Amino acid sequence: MAETGIDGSGTPWFAAVDVHYPPSGGALAALVLAGDRTFSQVLEQKTAFVAQVAAYVPGEFFRRELPPLRAVLAGVTGIEVLVIDGYVHLTPDGKPGLGAFVHTELGVPVVGVAKTFFATATHAIPVTRGHSARPLYVTAAGMPAAEAAELIRQMSGRFRIPDALRHVDALARGRKTAIAGAR
- Compute the distance between CA of residue 183 and CA of residue 179 in angstroms, rounded to an integer: 9
SS3 sequence of 146-183: HHHHHHHHHCCCCCCCCHHHHHHHHHHCCCCCCCCCCC
Contact of 45 with 33, CB cutoff 8 Å: yes
The domains of the chain are located at 13-172
Please classify residue 4 by burial: count the beta carbons closer than 10 Å to its beta carbon, then call 0-12 exposed, 13-18 middle and 19+ buried.
middle
CATH number of 13-172: 3.30.2170.10
Contact of 96 with 126, CB cutoff 8 Å: no
> CA–CA distance from 28 to each of 31, 72, 74, 107, 138 (Å)?
10, 9, 14, 23, 24
**What pLDDT, on a 0 to 100 scale, did the predictor assign at position 5?**
52
Sign of the torsion angle spanned by Cα atoms 116, 119, 124, 125: positive
> CA–CA distance from 122 to each of 47, 91, 101, 110, 139 (Å)?
33, 7, 20, 18, 10
For the chain, how big is the Rg over CA atoms in Å? 15
**What pLDDT, on a 0 to 100 scale, did the predictor assign at position 97?**
94
- pLDDT means per 10 residues, the chain with 183 residues, are 47 92 95 96 95 86 92 95 96 95 96 95 96 96 98 96 96 72 41
**What pLDDT, on a 0 to 100 scale, did the predictor assign at position 10?**
62
Of 65, 68, 22, nearest to 47 by C-alpha is: 68
